[in-house]
Structures are given as C-alpha cells and as structure tokens.
Amino acid sequence: MDVKVEIIDNNQTRIHLDGQQYIVPSHWFWPQFEQNWEPQTFEFFKRNLIKDTHFLDIGAWVGPTALIATRLGARSLTLVEPNPINFLKLLETQFANDNFLNSWTILNICLSDSRGFATIGPLDGVFNASSATNIRGHSGVQVMSVVAEDLLRSGERYSLIKIDIEGAEERMVKDLHKFESTEAAIWLSLHPPFMMDKANFFANLFALSGDFYLTDQNNSLMDWSVLKEQVLSDEQYPKFGTKWGNFFEVGLLPKRIFSDIGIRYS
C-alpha cells in the first residue's frame, strides 16, 4: 500500500493511501506511518479483509489500522479505544471525513474478562496520548469494560478483527474463542513483557489450537512451539520483536473458515 503523509498545519495532517486522501488530527505518529510502518500488518490486512465486510479494531489508538481497513473497502468498522485522548482524536478524524460518519462506530470502552469498569494508565501516559490499556502505575482513568461477545454486532459479516491492547490480551485470552463464531481472521498483538504470567497466557492461547490455525502475516502456518519460545523469552530485544522490545503479532485463522494453507473457503 502506497502511503504518503502531508502536514497541513499544527492541527491537521493529510494521509494519502493508494491515492485516497484522509484528514486526521496532528499526532507525533503520522510522519512514521509512511516509513514502512508495520509491513506485516499491511500484508495480513490485504490478505484477509474482504471488501464490503465488517472490521473490528480493538485498540484502535489514533486510527492507522482503521484507515487501512477503510481504504481496503471495509463497509463498516467498529473502533474500540479506551484512552480518552485517543478516543477524541478518532472522533476528530470521523468528523473531518464525511464518509466516516456512516461507516465508523467509535467506542470509548476497553475489552476485558468481565463487564464493569477498568482502570487504564498510568495517568501521565493517558494525558500523553499513550495507547496503553493496562495499568502500569498507581493512577489512571476509569473506563467501562466489556467482554468479547459484547463487541459482535448482530447481522454483520466480519472478515478481520485486530486486537492490540498492550498486554491486556492476557486477561481476555480465554474469550478469544468467542470470535471463532465469526468468519474473521484475527491479527493479535502480543506484549509478553507486560504480562503477569507468560506461561499461563501461552497455555490459554494454545488451548485454542483446536479451533484456530496459528499463522504469520502471509497466512503461513507457525509452529506453536516457536510461539511458546517467543512468549517466554527473557531477551529484552529479540530479533523477532520490535525496536521497543519483545512485541510482535500473530494471525489466528478459524479452522472452519480457512484451510491449512491459509485459504478462505468462502
């Protein structure tokens, strides 16, 4: 996908995606968007998002993956973002692009293992527009929490679900099977350094292996034993991670929808 970023002024930025233009509120991230940002994410999205279907973006941050899904032809999108600063930026983006008013639904909530309220933080991170959704300090902001099935819209056809919740995937991993009922490929971001019990997290994720294929960005099968090594690794900056540490993504493809070579049946 061809990406160009144009700074309009201190308040707005224009994003060019394969010839389509979008206006977004200025943010430190956008100049990085055109610098080969997460090529694995682009590849997985291109392979698995079906035009005119629904995209669920859990941990939408300031909207890069929502823009990609929009450009790839998603008919409707649900964007889940617990950080109130990021949520407001998503609203600004929605109102700055008229066609988003009908296609984007933006929710200021977090995904967890129970309904109620959860604290995101730390507080200074929230006010600096951090994408963190799990508490890493003693202060934060309370937001409403929901469980997986609360995010599935009746009557929608899903082809892609992205989950990037900064370590909180540890809390809701047992509920990932709820998304198996959709037709969606899942692009799951993993943040082992933020987890309380990495071994238990992997065990819960591996319990889903009967329902999901584990894949890379190309829908090619990955070995669960390799993933176990990556999750449990104590290496601070492994070669499979990012420049920030042991953070990476994997694909989960429902076996009833995909073949073992990553091809969607229908």
pTM of the predicted structure, to 2 decimals: 0.95
Kindly tell me if the per-residue pLDDT of 93 is higher than 60. yes
List b or e across 185-219, with b for residues whose CB sees 16 or more CB atoms inside 10 angstroms.
Answer: bbbbbbbbebbeebeebbebbbebeebbbbbbbeb
pLDDT at 124: 64
CATH number at residue 179: 3.40.50.150
- Region 91-101: what's the mean pLDDT? 96
Kindly tell me if the per-residue pLDDT of 129 is higher than 80. no
At 168-177, the pLDDT tens digits run 999 999 999 9
Nearest to 169 by CA among 89, 259, 249, 90: 249
At 178-189, the pLDDT tens digits run 999 999 999 999
- Is residue 171 included in any domain, yes or no? yes
Would you list the DSSP string of 201-234?
A: HHHHHHTTTTTEEEE-TTS-B--HHHHHHHHH--
- Is residue 4 included in any domain, yes or no? no
Kindly tell me if the per-residue pLDDT of 127 is higher than 70. no
Residue, of 64 and 1, whose pLDDT is higher: 64
Kindly tell me if the per-residue pLDDT of 197 is higher than 70. yes
- Is residue 114 included in any domain, yes or no? yes
Task: For residue 62, give its domain range.
Answer: 37-254
pLDDT at 13: 98
pLDDT at 158: 97
- Is residue 13 included in any domain, yes or no? no
- Is residue 17 included in any domain, yes or no? no
Question: What is the number of structural domains in the chain?
Answer: 1
- Is residue 108 included in any domain, yes or no? yes
Q: Is 199 helix (H, G, I), strand (E, B) or coil?
A: helix
- Region 236-252: what's the mean pLDDT? 95
Distance from C-alpha of 170 to C-alpha of 172, rounded to nearest angstrom: 6
Q: Sorting pLDDT into bands at 50, 70 and 90, what band is 131?
A: very low
Q: What are phi and psi of 131, to 5 degrees?
A: -90, 5
pLDDT at 87: 96
pLDDT at 141: 87
Distance from C-alpha of 128 to C-alpha of 136, rounded to nearest angstrom: 14
- Region 39-64: what's the mean pLDDT? 97
pLDDT at 126: 66
Q: Sorting pLDDT into bands at 50, 70 and 90, what band is 121?
A: confident
- Region 204-212: what's the mean pLDDT? 98
Whole-number average pLDDT of the chain: 93
- Region 197-209: what's the mean pLDDT? 98
Residue, of 140 and 117, whose pLDDT is higher: 117
